[in-house]
Amino acid sequence: MVNWEWSAMTWPELEAKMKETRLVVVPVGSVEQHGHHLGVGADWMQSWEMSRRVGEKTGYPVLPILPYGVSSHHKEFPGVITLSFHTYQKVVEEILGCLAANGVKRVVFINGHGGNNGAIAEAAKEARDKHGILCAITTWWDALGERKVLGHPAEQHAGYAETSFTIVSRPDAVRMNKARLTATKQTDEDIQLVRAGLAKFKGGLVRIPLSTIDVSDTGSMTEAHPDDFRGTTDYSRVTPEFAEGLMDEVVAWLCDFVKEFEGFQDPKRELKRP
Ligand SMILES: [Zn+2]
C-alpha cells in the first residue's frame, strides 16, 4: 500500500499521516520546449520522478505534480503551455492555503523549472506571514551546485544533466539521435550572452530578458560562448548508467535535505516598534 503519494491515499489515511508529520513535498515543473530531443514535459517528468523517489525513500507525503509553470521566455516554440507569473503565484498560494488547513508547517518544493522560482518565493512569503508555513525551494541544479556534468555547467537547458534526468524518468520522451547542444548565439563583442535572460560583461553578470528563440535555434543551450565548449557537445556520453548515477546523487541530497528541514526552526523575529 502506498503511504507517501497524496493522490493514492484516502482521507482517513491522510488525516492520520498529517498527525505523524507536518512536512509535505510539492513537485512542480513546466511544459516547454527542450530542444529537438526531449519531450516538452521534461521538467515536470524529471521533477515527478525525483519526488516519487524521495517519497518512497522517506515516507513524506508528496502532492500531485503541478505540471504547468512560468515559461513565457519559451513561448515562441510550438507546444509551450505557460501560466502568467501572477496566476502561478496565486495557484501556489492557494495550494499552500489548503496545506495549512491540513496542519502543514514545512513545505519542500521540488522544482524542475527555474522560471517558477520567483512566483513560488512570493507565494511562500505570503504563506509564512498568513499561515506560519515555512517553504524551501529546491532544484536539481542548485543541488548539484558548482559540480560540472561531463565538463559542462549542470544548469544548461536540455543539456547533459536534464537529458540524463529525462532518460531516467521517461525514456520514451527522449530522442537521442536528435540531441544537439547549441552554443548561445552572440551579437556583441563585449556583452556575452549566457542564455535568454543572462549576460556577462567585464567579469560581472547582467540580466537581459530575451526569449530563448533569440539565442538558440534548437532550443537547447550550452549557456555559454561558442568558444568555451568547442567540440564538447557530444551527447553520446550521456549513457543510461551515467544518468541513473546522477539521479541517485540528486535524490540522496533531496532526501537528506527534506529530513533536515522538518526540524528547521523558523528564524522569524519581530522588530519591536515603540
Ligand atoms: Zn528543463
pLDDT in tens, 191-218: 999 888 899 999 999 999 999 999 999 9
What pLDDT, on the 0 to 100 scale, is given for residue 227? 65
**How remote is the CA of residue 43 from the centroid of ligand 1, in Å?**
5
**How remote is the CA of residue 50 from the centroid of ligand 1, in Å?**
14
Q: Which of the residue ranges 116-130, 157-171, 175-189 would you say has the lowest mean pLDDT?
A: 175-189
Dihedral, CA of residue 40, residue 251, residue 50 and residue 261, to nearest 10: -120
Sheet holding 23-28, edge to edge: 23-28, 106-111, 134-139
Q: Would you list the domain boundaries of the chain?
A: 13-173+240-262
Considering the chain, what percentage of its residues have pLDDT values greater than 70?
Answer: 96
**How remote is the CA of residue 238 from the centroid of ligand 1, in Å?**
16
Longest CA–CA span in the chain (Å) reads: 68
> What are the φ and ψ backbone dihedral angles of 80, each rounded to 5 degrees?
-80, 130
The grid coordinates listed for 115 are: 522560471
**How remote is the CA of residue 256 from the centroid of ligand 1, in Å?**
23
Environment of ion ligand 1 (residues, CB < 5 A): 43, 162
**How remote is the CA of residue 266 from the centroid of ligand 1, in Å?**
31
What pLDDT, on the 0 to 100 scale, is given for residue 117? 98
What pLDDT, on the 0 to 100 scale, is given for residue 231? 56
**How remote is the CA of residue 249 from the centroid of ligand 1, in Å?**
18
Q: pTM for this structure? A: 0.94
**How remote is the CA of residue 112 from the centroid of ligand 1, in Å?**
6
**How remote is the CA of residue 20 from the centroid of ligand 1, in Å?**
34
Confidence of residue 160 (pLDDT cuts 50, 70, 90): very high
CATH architecture of 13-173+240-262: 3-Layer(aba) Sandwich (3.40)
**How remote is the CA of residue 34 from the centroid of ligand 1, in Å?**
6
Is residue 212 a contact partner of residue 73, using CB atoms and an 8 Å limit?
A: yes
Which residue type, as a one-letter code, is found at position 248?
A: D
